[in-house]
Structure 1
Amino acid sequence: MSRKRVYSSSEKLRAIKDYVSGEKGVTQICTEMTINIATFYEWLRKYNASGESSLIVSKNIKYYPNSVKFNAVYK
């Protein structure tokens, strides 16, 4: 099983702008990017609700040591 591809904010924004401008259709965008149509519509929904900032990819992956997890559950 392959790893899930993470698209950059600029890639998502380019896809949304291509669709909104009428330059490309949903099927064409999804085929070119090899994404599911539902994924594209999720990006579009977020963009319409909150603008470009909603498409920013967070690189801050939180890591918590086991001791912190243990204390959160048992204290």
Structure 2
Amino acid sequence: MGRKGKISGSEKIATIEKYLRGEDSLNHLATVLDVHISSVQQWLQTYQSLGPEGLLSASKNSAYPAELKDAAVKDYLVGAGSYMEICKRYGIKSTRQLRHWVMKYTGHETLKSSGTGGVAAMTKGRATTFDERVEIVKYCIEHQSNYAETAQKFQVSYQQVYSWTNKYLDDG
């Protein structure tokens, strides 16, 4: 995949600096450059958190440690800020990157350090027998539908417990 964007890094810097000097609006600048307003907002966020050099084209992807990813995702999930605010706080270049981590985390996937492996954030689903599923569902119902506790106890994903329990409650 190519790394060359439609707008050069120097054009992005000039655009954001023009906005910061109060010479133009983000909306008008986006129209002039024929890009979506969200792109210009992303450039502004990157400029504010990483400085002008953050807008220059990188020769390789940024690497983030698993601890930073985990902390940023947890901050977002507890409502400690918007995607943009959390990206600024942790020096993450793109809100798209943070959204991807949040989706992985809530989908029970592992958040790893970039390129180095890492620690599991949540349990991944596993194969189970019918009898095992019945036992899991009964446990879940007996514990006031505490899906997270049940998933942890039986080493299955939250989604599996949720799905099995709801099927049982709907269909018997």
Aligned-residue offset at 1:38: 0.5
Gaps of 5+ in 1: 61-75
TM-score (ref. length: structure 2): 0.31
Decide which structure has the larger Cα Rg and report it: 2
**Equivalence for 2:50:** 50
Query: Which residue number in structure 1 is paired with residue 38 of structure 2?
Result: 38
Q: CA deviation at 1:37?
A: 0.6
Residues 4-43 of structure 1: pairs in structure 2 closer than 5 A = 6-43=6-43
Question: What do the CA deviations read for 1:31-73 (whole angstroms, capped 9, x no partner)?
Answer: 100010110010000100010110011356xxxxxxxxxxxxx
> Structure 1-normalised TM-score?
0.68
Q: Relative CO higher for 1 or 2, CA cutoff 8 Å, sep ≥ 6?
A: 1
Consecutive unaligned residues in structure 2, runs of 5 or more:
61-172
Cα distance between partner residues in 2 of 1:15 and 1:6: 14
1:9-52, Cα deviation, whole Å (9 max, x unpaired): 11000110110000011111011000101100100001000101
Structure 1 residue 7: Cα displacement: 1.1
Runs of 4+ deviating beyond 4 Å: none
The match for 1:67 is none
Identical columns (%): 27
